[in-house]
Homo-oligomer: A and B are copies of this chain.
C-alpha cells in the first residue's frame, strides 16, 4: 500500500549505526503521525527518567500523512523529544520545505539516538544516509549553515534543518530551523545540540506516497479555492500572522510589560499588521512548500541603526514577545531582533519572556547592572535586548542564566523573581492573554507541552474563525471574556482536535477553511486508512492521553496544571480589565470531561477504552 507507511531512518550517533525501521500499521492508524506518533515512540523507547540532554534521550523528526504534500498548510513536520526545558513530553513543529524533501527521499521520519563526540551532520540522499563531519559548521548561525550546506550539496534541491549557536550551547529553548521556519518551542534544538548534530541535509528524487492520489488532489483543489476565497486566509496573505496584533490589542489579548500591562494598544498601533506589511518594511511575501496563503513576510530596514538589513520578517509571536512585552514599539528593531533569534536558533517566545522577566527584575531591584554586566535592561531599551540575545545564545554572563528558561532562571536569581517568570510547567507562555479568553487559560494550564497556543485551537475558536460543530467548537467570543463556565468539555474537545492537527501534520492557519470532512478525507486519502471523523477524534483523545501519560511518568501531576499568579490577577486597564480567571472552577469541570483522575493521571478506564493498557500498566 502506498500512503503513510512510517518508514523511519534510525541513526545512532554514539556508534554510527544507521537502520531503517518501519512502524507497525496498527500503531500508525492509532497515532496518525507527527507528534501523535512521537508520543507513542517516546513511550516505547525512552526511559522517562532520562536526562533530556543525555545521549539516552532520543530526537524524533516526524512527518504525518499530509506532511510534504502540496496541500496548502501541509508542509509541516514535528520534532519530539523529552524537553530540557520542561522535563516532560515535548513537541514542536514547523513548515518550510524539509518535509516534502524527506518524504521524496522515501522517509517519513528520522530517529536520532545517542550522541556524537564531535560535531556532525546527517546527509540523506534517497535511501542513502551518512553521518558527516560538521566541525567547520559548528559555531555558525542557522542561515549561514543552510547556505553552506546547500552550496555543498547542489543548491536549492538540498533541504536543511539545523541548529544555531543556541542549540550548540544547550540553551534550553533552542529550536530546530528549517530555513526561516523554526520548530522553536521546548528546546528541541538543545537536544539536537547535545547529540552534536548540527544539521540534517536531505535530497529526494521520489514522489510523495499517497494512498489515493486523485482523490487527494481533488480535495486539495477544493481547499486551495476555499483558502483563496476566505477572508481570514486572505488577510493572512495581506498582513501575515501579525494581523492578529491589531485585534489582539483591542480585546485585551496582547501581553505587555511582562504581562503586567493590560492595555497595549499604543504599541500595537506601531507594530501591528499594516506597519509590518507597509512600504516602509515589506518587500514581499512567502509561503511554505505547497501553500499559496503567503503569510510569511519578507522585510527590509532602510533607516536607523539596522538600515541595510533585509530578510525574513517576524510572525505575530515574535512581534509581541520582542515588542509590547518588552515595551518596545520600534518595528525595525523588532524585525532585526526576531531575525537574530532565528539565526541563533532561539525560540522568540521564550527568549523574549526571559528578557522581559530580567527587565522586571531590574525595575524591582532584584537584578542590577552588576548582574547584567552593565547592560541597562530597562523597558523599551532596544540596545540592551540586542546585546542580550547573543549573550543568551552563547551563555555569556546573565545570558547563561536566562538560557535556562524563566523557571530555572528565576530560581537561580531568587529574591522572589519566580513571581515574574510567566510559564506553565516550565514553558514560557505564548503571546495571547487568557485574561481575555478564559478558556485559553484552561488550555494553557493543561496543554500537552505546557502553555501552548498550537496544541489546541482554544485561541482561534474564540475568534470566530474555527467552526467545528461536530466537536461543539463553535465561535465563542461572546462567552469568552466574562464567563469561566462550560469550558471543561470545550477545551477537552479542542485538545482532541489539536492532536489530530499536530499529528496530520496540518497548519493551524488553514483551520478557518477546513472542516471535519476535509480533515478526514485528507488523512484517509494520504494515509490509506479508511478513517472516519469519529475514529480520528478517538485518535486525538488517545494521543492526548499518551502525551499526558508520558509526562506523568516523567513527574507531572495535577499540581502542575496551573497558571502563573500574574495571569490569575486581573489587569486594571485594557479591554479585559477586571476579569478574573476562575481556573479552579474550570479544572473541576475539565478533569472528569478529560478523563483524568484527581491526581492528574489519565484514569484507568480512559486508558483501557483508548487501547492504552500498556500505558496504564506503567502508570498504575
- Contact indicator A250/B274 (Cβ below 8 Å): yes
A616 close to B (CB within 8 Å): no
A582 contacts across to B, CB distance below 8 A: none
- Contact indicator B263/A279 (Cβ below 8 Å): yes
Interface string of A255-288 (1 = CB under 8 A from B): 0000000010110110011110111101000000
Smallest CB–CB gap between A301 and chain B, Å? 14
- Contact indicator A464/B234 (Cβ below 8 Å): yes
A273 contacts across to B, CB distance below 8 A: 246, 272-274
For A573, the closest partner residue in chain B by CB is: B279
Interface of A is mostly: helix
A194 contacts across to B, CB distance below 8 A: none
The 7 residue pairs across chains A and B that have the minimum distance between CB atoms:
A265-B278, A229-B475, A246-B274, A272-B274, A231-B464, A269-B275, A265-B279
Q: Report the separation of the CA atoms of residues A463 and B229 in the bound assembly, to the nearest whole angstrom.
A: 8
> What are some 24 contacts across the A-B interface (CB < 8 A)?
A228-B478, A229-B464, A229-B475, A229-B477, A230-B475, A231-B232, A231-B463, A234-B247, A234-B463, A234-B464, A234-B477, A238-B246, A238-B251, A239-B246, A239-B247, A239-B250, A245-B274, A249-B278, A263-B279, A265-B279, A265-B282, A272-B273, A272-B274, A273-B274
For A249, the closest partner residue in chain B by CB is: B274
Q: Report the separation of the CA atoms of residues A477 and B232 in the bound assembly, to the nearest whole angstrom.
A: 13
A295 close to B (CB within 8 Å): no
- Contact indicator A477/B228 (Cβ below 8 Å): yes
Q: Please tell me how many copies of the chain the complex holds.
A: 2
A368 close to B (CB within 8 Å): no
Q: Report the separation of the CA atoms of residues A279 and B478 in the bound assembly, to the nearest whole angstrom.
A: 22
Smallest CB–CB gap between A467 and chain B, Å? 8
A554 close to B (CB within 8 Å): no
Q: Report the separation of the CA atoms of residues A463 and B268 in the bound assembly, to the nearest whole angstrom.
A: 24
Most B Cβ at <10 Å: residue of A231, A249, A274, A475: A274
A243 close to B (CB within 8 Å): yes
A606 close to B (CB within 8 Å): no
A235 close to B (CB within 8 Å): yes
A277 contacts across to B, CB distance below 8 A: 250, 265
Q: Report the separation of the CA atoms of residues A239 and B265 in the bound assembly, to the nearest whole angstrom.
A: 11
A474 close to B (CB within 8 Å): yes
A384 contacts across to B, CB distance below 8 A: none
Smallest CB–CB gap between A287 and chain B, Å? 15
A366 close to B (CB within 8 Å): no
A243 contacts across to B, CB distance below 8 A: 246
A516 close to B (CB within 8 Å): no
A509 close to B (CB within 8 Å): no
Q: Report the separation of the CA atoms of residues A60 and B237 in the bound assembly, to the nearest whole angstrom.
A: 44
- Contact indicator B280/A231 (Cβ below 8 Å): no
A386 close to B (CB within 8 Å): no
Known pairs A231-B463, A231-B465, A273-B274; list 20 more (Cβ under 8 Å): A228-B477, A229-B464, A231-B232, A231-B512, A235-B247, A238-B246, A238-B247, A239-B246, A239-B250, A246-B246, A246-B272, A246-B273, A250-B278, A265-B274, A265-B279, A266-B279, A269-B274, A269-B278, A273-B273, A274-B274
Q: Report the separation of the CA atoms of residues A247 and B234 in the bound assembly, to the nearest whole angstrom.
A: 9
- Contact indicator B274/A278 (Cβ below 8 Å): no
- Contact indicator B279/A229 (Cβ below 8 Å): no
Q: Report the separation of the CA atoms of residues A228 and B475 in the bound assembly, to the nearest whole angstrom.
A: 8
Q: Report the separation of the CA atoms of residues A332 and B239 in the bound assembly, to the nearest whole angstrom.
A: 24
Interface residues of A in 27-85 (CB under 8 A from B): none
Interface residues of A in 111-168 (CB under 8 A from B): none
Smallest CB–CB gap between A472 and chain B, Å? 14
Most B Cβ at <10 Å: residue of A234, A263, A278, A477: A278
Interface string of A345-382 (1 = CB under 8 A from B): 00000000000000000000000000000000000000
- Contact indicator B278/A266 (Cβ below 8 Å): yes
Interface residues of A in 270-317 (CB under 8 A from B): 272-275, 277-280, 282
For A263, the closest partner residue in chain B by CB is: B279
A228 contacts across to B, CB distance below 8 A: 475, 477-478
- Contact indicator B265/A280 (Cβ below 8 Å): yes
Q: Report the separation of the CA atoms of residues A277 and B251 in the bound assembly, to the nearest whole angstrom.
A: 11
Q: Report the separation of the CA atoms of residues A463 and B237 in the bound assembly, to the nearest whole angstrom.
A: 12
Q: Report the separation of the CA atoms of residues A477 and B273 in the bound assembly, to the nearest whole angstrom.
A: 20
Interface residues of A in 461-496 (CB under 8 A from B): 463-465, 467, 474-475, 477-478
Q: Report the separation of the CA atoms of residues A238 and B273 in the bound assembly, to the nearest whole angstrom.
A: 14
